[in-house]
Amino acid sequence: MKKVDVILGLQWGDEGKGKVVDVLTPAYEVVARFQGGPNAGHTLEFNGEKYVLRSIPSGIFQGGKTNIIGNGVVIDAVLFREEAEALAASGHDLTKQLCISKKAHLILPTHRILDAAYEAAKGSAKIGTTGKGIGPTYTDKVSRNGMRVGDVLSADFRQIYARAKARHESILRGLGYEYDIAELERKWFEAVEYLKRFNIIDSEYFVNGCLAQDKSILAEGAQGTLLDVDFGSYPFVTSSNTVCAGACVGLGIAPNRIGEVYGIFKAYCTRVGGGPFPTELFDETGARMRSIGHEYGAVTGRERRCGWLDLVALKYSIMINGVTQLIMMKSDVMNDFETVKVATEYEVGGERTAHFPYEIGDDLKPVYREFEGWKCDLRDCKSYDDFPAAFKTYVEFIERETGVPVKIISVGPDRGETIVR
């Protein structure tokens, strides 16, 4: 029985999903995004070019593959159009390669404004969202007020829109939030027309039809497990299920159809926006990770907070997702570090725990294990055997602790800088 392999982030996003999806795509016929929206920024580098994808699956550059935007995704027609047109200008016409689920929800101009208004209302407790309207769009989906891609084909489209807009405007009035929607709205209606040139499909039938024909499918996650609305560091999370189960719901595939679960993590840890981050570094070492790793948001350009690898959180993510293979990214960023640390436990109120807690308070302190740095350029290594002993010790410690093999090690942003064991 053909299965769907899933690739997803195990930390707070930006693990390098875009790069790895691109590397793995040659082995698949279909690549599908299952949740999130333009809050994602997935970077791919090859032939000296760099691309950042937000809503479009990262399989789009490996010619001839079908790419699907699944029902679990939320789409901003304006940002989608910008993304698709930029790709077309660089010679990648997507209209034949890309299918969009009728059941994917639309991000309306007022959703973006609501996102900003809710953040402003939270004051210092704000989430630090990407400002793309993600939360308000998923809220409307769950409260049964959303607009879906399929609605763009309906004769009642304008009326459905007007009702949603009126509802949003009454909330905005209540919040006393000033805004100007005219330009955004004009662009949005034009972009909705543009959307119609793509294949708008019943993606759940398409995906299951592919499986019935023995076609291989790779499901691409966005964000990361610690941003999952159920299992992440709530309320500092995104509004979708970023975990493996999200692939079932976001594409319409049965749980027994999940095959390999590739879990991606950085050799250290980053987070952008607010919320707890136990191993965060506020010192020179964190600043070095940021500058060497170019840790700035692919979409917002915001500084990413940096810290050591957190095995308590990583093991939690592996458990929730049923990870079968690990993929370790950006080890090269720590090439010159004298020592490298990993949190193996937390200390809370004098007690040690290996559990990712319900609430991460200020009294939580990570317990670290220290490793000797590898002090060499990992980019020169072409196979696992070429890696220095100190680096192998680091990798094999993670494997022993997690019980999951590290199958791919990425040593640079380029497609080619990837070592598959």
Residue 294 is among the residues annotated as catalytic for this protein: no
CB of 52 to Mg ion, least distance (A): 8
Q: Judge whether 42 is annotated as a binding position.
A: yes
For the chain, how far is it from start to end, CA to CA, in angstroms?
A: 26
By the rule CB under 6 A, 19 interacts with ligand GDP: yes
Q: Judge whether 13 is annotated as a binding position.
A: yes
CA distance 409 to 421: 8
CA distance 85 to 310: 39
The partner in contact with residue 192, picked from Mg ion, ligand IMO, ligand GDP, none with C-beta cut-offs of 5 to 8 angstroms by kind, is none
CB of 17 to Mg ion, least distance (A): 7
CB of 42 to ligand IMO, least distance (A): 6
Among the listed residues 332, 342, 356, 381, the single contact to ligand GDP using CB under 6 A? 332
By the rule CB under 6 A, 269 interacts with ligand GDP: no
By the rule CB under 5 A, 22 interacts with Mg ion: no
Helix, strand, coil content of the chain in percent (nearest 5): 35, 25, 40
Q: Which is nearer to ligand IMO, 307 or 381 (CB)?
A: 307
- 3-class secondary structure, 356: coil
Q: Judge whether 361 is annotated as a binding position.
A: no
- The answer to whether 22 and 235 are in contact (CB under 8 A) is no
Q: Judge whether 332 is annotated as a binding position.
A: yes
Q: Over the Cα atoms of the chain, what is R_g?
A: 21
Among the listed residues 5, 7, 10, 15, the single contact to ligand GDP using CB under 6 A? 15
Q: Beta 74-75 vs 42-46: how paired, if at all? A: unpaired
Strand partners, 182: none
CA distance 300 to 384: 35
CA distance 162 to 159: 5
- In 137-281, beta strands by DSSP E: 199-201, 217-220, 258-266, 269-271
Q: Which is nearer to ligand IMO, 156 or 303 (CB)?
A: 303
Task: State the alpha helices, DSSP H only, in 47-108.
Answer: 77-89
Q: Judge whether 111 is annotated as a binding position.
A: no
> How many beta carbons lie within 10 A of that of residue 166, not counting itself?
10
Residue 141 is among the residues annotated as catalytic for this protein: yes
Q: Judge whether 322 is annotated as a binding position.
A: no
The H or E element that residue 317 is part of is helix 311-321
Residues at the contact surface with ligand IMO, assessed by CB under 6 A: 9, 12-14, 36, 39-42, 127-130, 132, 134-135, 222-224, 227, 238-239, 272-273
Q: Judge whether 144 is annotated as a binding position.
A: yes
Among the listed residues 6, 113, 298, 313, the single contact to Mg ion using CB under 5 A? 298
By the rule CB under 6 A, 43 interacts with ligand GDP: yes
By the rule CB under 6 A, 304 interacts with ligand GDP: no
- The answer to whether 278 and 334 are in contact (CB under 8 A) is no
The partner in contact with residue 238, picked from ligand GDP, Mg ion, ligand IMO, none with C-beta cut-offs of 5 to 8 angstroms by kind, is ligand IMO
Strand partners, 283: none
Residue 3 is among the residues annotated as catalytic for this protein: no
Residues 180-209: x/- map of binding to ligand GDP (CB under 6 A)? ------------------------------
By the rule CB under 5 A, 44 interacts with Mg ion: no
**Closest Cα partner for 218 from 37, 41, 26?**
26
By the rule CB under 5 A, 41 interacts with Mg ion: yes
Q: Which is nearer to ligand IMO, 130 or 317 (CB)?
A: 130
Q: Which is nearer to Mg ion, 298 or 398 (CB)?
A: 298
Residue with tokens 């769009």: 137
By the rule CB under 5 A, 14 interacts with Mg ion: yes
Q: Which is nearer to ligand GDP, 310 or 332 (CB)?
A: 332
- 3-class secondary structure, 3: coil
**Closest Cα partner for 243 from 8, 3, 4, 42?**
8
- The answer to whether 211 and 25 are in contact (CB under 8 A) is no
CA distance 310 to 346: 10
Q: Which is nearer to ligand GDP, 303 or 363 (CB)?
A: 303
Two tokens at 140? 């409307």
Looking at this protein, which amino acid is placed at residue 309? L
Annotated binding site for GTP: 13-19, 41-43, 304, 330-332, 410-412
Annotated binding site: 13-19, 39-43, 130, 144, 223, 238, 298-304, 330-332, 410-412
Return residues touching ligand GDP (CB under 6 A). 9, 13-19, 40-43, 45, 293-294, 298, 329-330, 332-333, 410-413
Annotated binding site for substrate: 298-304
Q: Which amino acids are annotated catalytic?
A: 14, 42, 141
Annotated binding site for IMP: 14-17, 39-42, 130, 144, 223, 238, 302
